[in-house]
């Protein structure tokens, strides 16, 4: 029974870390970064919307707004996962 206790402690510690992660450490960091990213996206879309004539039409046809949104979202997820890994909730 004495040898079984450290095994149980390790299993419970791992389960507790996973539980805390599922409760929302990742969600909280993603929500904060998403708010910042949303602000950046809206400012860039407003700046590209103020373009008149051919440059504005080319930017819209090329999907400038979608491209910026995809890039900001990818960086947001990367930073959120790096933060959660640094906290120690997720293994490297």
Q: Give the model confidence (pLDDT) of 35-50 as tens digits.
A: 888 888 888 878 877 7
- pLDDT, one tens digit per residue, over 3-62 is 777 776 777 777 776 676 656 766 777 778 778 888 888 888 788 777 788 887 888 788
For residue 60, CA distances in Å to 30, 35, 40, 72 come to: 28, 24, 18, 18
Mean pLDDT of 69-76: 84
- pLDDT for the residue 62: 87
Interior angle at CA 71, CA 53 and CA 56, nearest 5: 0
Instruction: Give yes or no for residue 89 having a pLDDT over 60.
Output: no
Angle at CA of residue 36, ends 34 and 38, nearest 5°? 65
């Amino acid at each position: 029974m004495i040898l079984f206790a450290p095994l149980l402690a390790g299993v419970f510690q791992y389960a507790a870390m996973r539980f805390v992660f599922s409760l929302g450490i990742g969600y909280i960091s993603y929500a904060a970064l998403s708010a910042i990213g949303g602000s950046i996206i809206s400012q860039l879309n407003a700046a590209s919307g103020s373009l008149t004539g051919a440059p504005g039409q080319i930017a819209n046809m090329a999907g400038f707004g979608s491209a910026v949104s995809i890039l900001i979202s990818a960086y947001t997820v990367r930073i959120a996962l790096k933060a959660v890994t640094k906290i120690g909730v997720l293994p490297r």
